[in-house]
Amino acid sequence: MAKITLENLAHSYSPAPKGPEDYALKELNHDWQDGAAYALLGSSGCGKSTLLNIISGLLIPSQGRILFDGVDVTRAPTAERNIAQVFQFPVVYDTMTVRDNLAFPLRNRGRPEAYVAERVAEIAAMIGMEHMLDRKARGLTADAKQKISLGRGMVRKDVNALLFDEPLTVIDPHMKWELRTQLKKLHHDFGHTMIYVTHDQTEALTFADKVVVMYDGRVVQIGTPEELFDRPEHTFVGYFIGSPGMNLLPAKIDGAQALVPGGTTPLAGTYGAVQGNVQIGVRPEHVRLSAHEGLPVTIRRIEDVGRHRIIRADLMGHDLNIIAPEDMGVGADMTRAVFDPSRINVYADDWRVAAA
Ligand SMILES: Nc1ncnc2c1ncn2[C@@H]1O[C@H](COP(=O)(O)OP(=O)(O)OP(=O)(O)O)[C@@H](O)[C@H]1O
């Protein structure tokens, strides 16, 4: 395993970039800790694959360096980086059996057959293909082939890192959950440095120790699932993580209170002058309906989603989502909303501002 360091890294696909907007990956400094499981999360086109391809060596960055355990590999080809990769679509040898496909990376490195057999058996059990080992890969479903790709990616214990680029796209939903759990267990058992690219927050939050959130070519936050939920550093993180995401309202900050459409709401801390485009963010989990106190709201719709209800409301022309317990009655007199002050975040030009 290795620590992976990104030093002043940036990439533009244009040969003569004129400004930040020409960079698919904006400048980034980061250490990926040895043995940690990371998810790289963001919507389509935000630069996830660009970053992963730089780490794997498929792409040479236009600026900066990448180091594995302090050794500069910026220009080293993929083969020299000692990494395993699993892509979105299966890459298997059709004419080989499932067993030979799984054994391939080990035999390629001259590992003894007894060890190969032991490892293949372990991995086959993990992906649930023990009974198919002697079948040719040709003719198997895309789902089964992708499981072989995953297995082959994980069969070596001595790789610097394991890189996954949306590996569960072709897997059926039930198996998805199971494989994700297996990947997490594998990480726990072997301590590989893993980087898992996805645009699915559930996948990212259930798999990773740390989630790297990207937006428009920039890493906007690196944090544990709890940190991303409680203290989104950028409004995109607030909006992207959570279901529904964080409520955002235009605001003026006056010391320990925020002036928002419809009135004022207290804050847990005191703020200095906050300039720019100022907003407050509060998650639907931290808003409650009231008959007596809070800001005036109109309820538009109530959605029952099983464990709780999502109340879609309007606050002076702004959308406001509220999560309420399933058994809570919503009377006609519930025309106000109260925010939990300790759960309100303040943003200036989309970046979180800390209290004084
Ligand atoms: N080979 C290329 N040449 C020029 N522009 C590219 C190239 N590859 C990607 N881009 C652009 O770089 C930006 C980032 O793309 P990238 O594929 O890294 O995003 P992504 O987050 O992985 O998206 P997706 O989830 O859709 O794969 C996009 O604007 C994309 O159009």
Q: Which atom of ligand 1 is nearest to the CA of 166?
A: 25
Q: Does 213 fall in a domain?
A: yes
Q: Global pTM?
A: 0.90
Same domain, 226 and 263: no
Structure token digits, residue 174: 């039930």
| DSSP conformational letter for 176 | H
Question: How far does residue 261's CA lie from ligand 1's centre (Å)?
Answer: 38
Same domain, 251 and 229: no
List all residues whose CB is within 6 A of at least one atom of ligand 1.
13, 24, 42, 44-50, 199
Cα 262 from Cα 81, distance rounded (Å): 57
Same domain, 98 and 173: yes
- The residue nearest atom 14 of ligand 1, judged by CA position, is 47
Characterize the bridge pairing of strands 161-165 and 83-86: parallel
Pocket test residue of 44, 50, 51 for ligand 1, highest count of atoms within 8 A of CB: 50
Same domain, 215 and 292: no
**Among positive and negative, which fits the CA dihedral 265, 271, 272, 273?**
negative
Question: How far does residue 50's CA lie from ligand 1's centre (Å)?
Answer: 6
**Among positive and negative, which fits the CA dihedral 107, 111, 112, 116?**
negative
Q: Which atom of ligand 1 is nearest to the CA of 49?
A: 22
Residue 144's contacts (CB-CB under 8 Å, 6 or more residues apart) are 129, 132
Question: How far does residue 48's CA lie from ligand 1's centre (Å)?
Answer: 8
Q: Does 96 fall in a domain?
A: yes
Cα 215 from Cα 228, distance rounded (Å): 14
Question: How far does residue 219's CA lie from ligand 1's centre (Å)?
Answer: 15
- Which residues make beta-bridge pairs with 271? none
Question: How far does residue 217's CA lie from ligand 1's centre (Å)?
Answer: 9
Cα 158 from Cα 190, distance rounded (Å): 10
Q: Does 240 fall in a domain?
A: no
- Which residues make beta-bridge pairs with 39? 196, 211
- The residue nearest atom 3 of ligand 1, judged by CA position, is 13
- The residue nearest atom 23 of ligand 1, judged by CA position, is 45
Characterize the bridge pairing of strands 194-198 and 161-165: parallel
Cα 80 from Cα 216, distance rounded (Å): 30
Same domain, 157 and 77: yes
Same domain, 48 and 9: yes
E strand residue ranges, 189-254: 194-198, 210-215, 218-223, 247-250, 252-254
> What is the structure's pLDDT at 1?
67
- DSSP reduced 3-state for 308: strand
- Say which residue the tokens 């236009």 belong to: 62
* CATH number for position 160: 3.40.50.300
Question: How far does residue 222's CA lie from ligand 1's centre (Å)?
Answer: 21
Same domain, 214 and 315: no
How far is the first Cα of the chain from the last one, in angstroms, to the nearest whole number?
41
Identify the H or E element spanning 204: helix 201-207
> What is the structure's pLDDT at 328?
82
- Give the pLDDT confidence of 343-353 residue by residue, as tens digits: 999 999 999 99
Q: Which atom of ligand 1 is nearest to the CA of 50?
A: 18
Same domain, 107 and 210: yes
Task: Flag whether the ipTM exceeds 0.95.
Answer: yes
Q: Does 81 fall in a domain?
A: yes
Low-confidence ranges of the chain (pLDDT < 50): none
Give the structural domain span for 306. Answer: 246-353
Question: How far does residue 198's CA lie from ligand 1's centre (Å)?
Answer: 14
Radius of gyration, CA atoms only, the chain: 24
- Which residues make beta-bridge pairs with 193? none
Closest of 128, 123, 87, 125 to residue 106, by C-alpha: 123
Residue 9 C-alpha from the chain's centroid: 20
Same domain, 190 and 265: no
Residue 53 C-alpha from the chain's centroid: 17
Domain count, the chain: 2
